[in-house]
A and B are shown apart, each in its own frame.
Chain A
Amino acid sequence: GDSVTQMEGPVTLSEEAFLTINCTYTATGYPSLFWYVQYPGEGLQLLLKATKADDKGSNKGFEATYRKETTSFHLEKGSVQVSDSAVYFCALRSPGGGNKLTFGTGTQLKVEL
Chain B
Amino acid sequence: DTAVSQTPKYLVTQMGNDKSIKCEQNLGHDTMYWYKQDSKKFLKIMFSYNNKELIINETVPNRFSPKSPDKAHLNLHINSLELGDSAVYFCASSPDSTYEAFFGQGTRLTVV
Contact = CB atoms under 8 A, between A and B. Distances in A.
Interface string B87-106: 00010100001101111111
A45 B48 CA distance: 19
Interface in A23-53: 32, 34, 36, 38, 42-46, 49
Contacts of A98: 55-56
Q: Is the interface of B mostly helix, strand, loop or mixed?
A: strand
A43 B100 contact: no
Q: Is the interface of A mostly helix, strand, loop or mixed?
A: strand
A58 to B, nearest CB: 15
B33 interface: yes
Nearest to A51: B98
Contacts of B100: 32, 34, 46, 49, 93, 101
Interface centre among A38, A99, A105, A106 (most CB of B within 10 A): A99
B90 A43 contact: yes
A101 B45 contact: yes
A93 B104 contact: no
Interface residues of B, number: 22
Interface residues of A, number: 23
A36 B55 CA distance: 23
Nearest to B9: A41
B56 A44 contact: no
Interface in B22-38: 33
Nearest to B101: A101
A80 to B, nearest CB: 20
B98 A93 contact: yes
Given A43-B104, A101-B100, 20 more contacts: A32-B98, A32-B100, A42-B105, A42-B106, A43-B103, A43-B105, A44-B43, A44-B103, A49-B100, A93-B98, A98-B55, A99-B97, A100-B56, A100-B97, A101-B33, A101-B45, A101-B92, A103-B42, A105-B42, A106-B41
Interface of A: 32, 34, 36, 38, 42-46, 49, 87, 89, 93, 95, 98-103, 105-106, 108
Interface of B: 4, 33, 40-45, 48, 55-56, 90, 92, 97-98, 100-106
